[in-house]
Amino acid sequence: MAEDDEQVPLTGKLRDKLVESKQAWAREGRLLTGTHADPARDRLPPGQTLVKDWPVLDLGVQPEVTPDRWRLRVEGLVQAPVRLTLEEFMALPQEERVNDIHCVTQWSRYDNHWQGVPARDLVALARPKDEARFVSFTSYDGYTTNVPLEEFIRDEVLLAHSWEGAPLTRQHGGPVRVVLPRLYFWKSPKWVTRIELLRDDRPGFWEVRGYHNNGDPWLEERYG
């Protein structure tokens, strides 16, 4: 079906100024405290500030993905490529997670309640080939990001459709986003549509613009 093979190029409507200023932060090493923290002891990573509201951050394009149009694909180095409609996705076993968000622009938000499908269950459905080591995500706004496969299949990682008991809003990445709380939040794509398993790493949108390839908040891996 044509819509399943839909390409998702970056649109021309990016907020260029926002992208430029975030790239400048990386060049200047802004917000770096030069310290590390121990996740077992300190809940707030170095240089972070706690917020109570939930800020919205993206490239300025918030695609409207209607439930009937949404598709999720898990493909690449897999034995059984997965293509799901939202209905099929919602029929998979659902779980809840509670975790903290840490954004590289310095805000952290505690105790977010998510509902969705564990990443490891989705990956298991697709049966990764032995040589699969990395994951590249593509979203409906054209955004991309990347993580090692072993980060993606950690127990806490969800493909989330709900937050605090209500469907995820469009501005926060609904119908479905990745929530990968152990890394800075730019590693958690909103409006996700494609999960590709790879042999070699493929740096994403911010990773090629001066942001750290790994992005561990406890090690303050903001830029790199």
Compute the least distance from the CB of residue 56 to ligand MTE, in Å: 4
CB closer to ligand MTE, 128 vs 173: 173
Compute the least distance from the CB of residue 37 to ligand MTE, in Å: 19
Binding partner of 59, given ligand MTE, Mo ion, none, CB within 5-8 angstroms per partner class: ligand MTE
Q: Is 10 in the site for ligand MTE (CB under 6 A)?
A: no
What is the footprint of Mo ion within residues 160-199 (CB under 5 A)? 186
Cβ–Cβ < 8 Å for 94, 140: no
Binding partner of 117, given ligand MTE, Mo ion, none, CB within 5-8 angstroms per partner class: none
Q: State the Cα torsion 121-62-194-210 to the nearest 10°.
A: -100
Identify the residue whose tokens are 């549509």: 193
Compute the least distance from the CB of residue 104 to Mo ion, in Å: 5
Compute the least distance from the CB of residue 110 to ligand MTE, in Å: 14
What is the footprint of ligand MTE within residues 96-115 (CB under 6 A)? 103
- Give 112: exposed, middle or buried? Use CB within 10 Å, 0-12, 13-18, 19+: middle
> For residue 212, which amino acid is it?
H
For the chain, what percentages of helix, strand and coil (3-state, to nearest 5) are there?
A: 20, 30, 50
Compute the least distance from the CB of residue 80 to ligand MTE, in Å: 26
Residue selected from 161, 188, 194, 204 as contacting ligand MTE according to rule CB under 6 A: 188
Nearest to 137 by CA among 191, 69, 96: 191
CB atoms within 10 A of CB 195: 24
Residues lying near ligand MTE in the complex (CB under 6 A) are found at: 54-59, 103, 139, 141, 143, 172-173, 185-186, 188-191
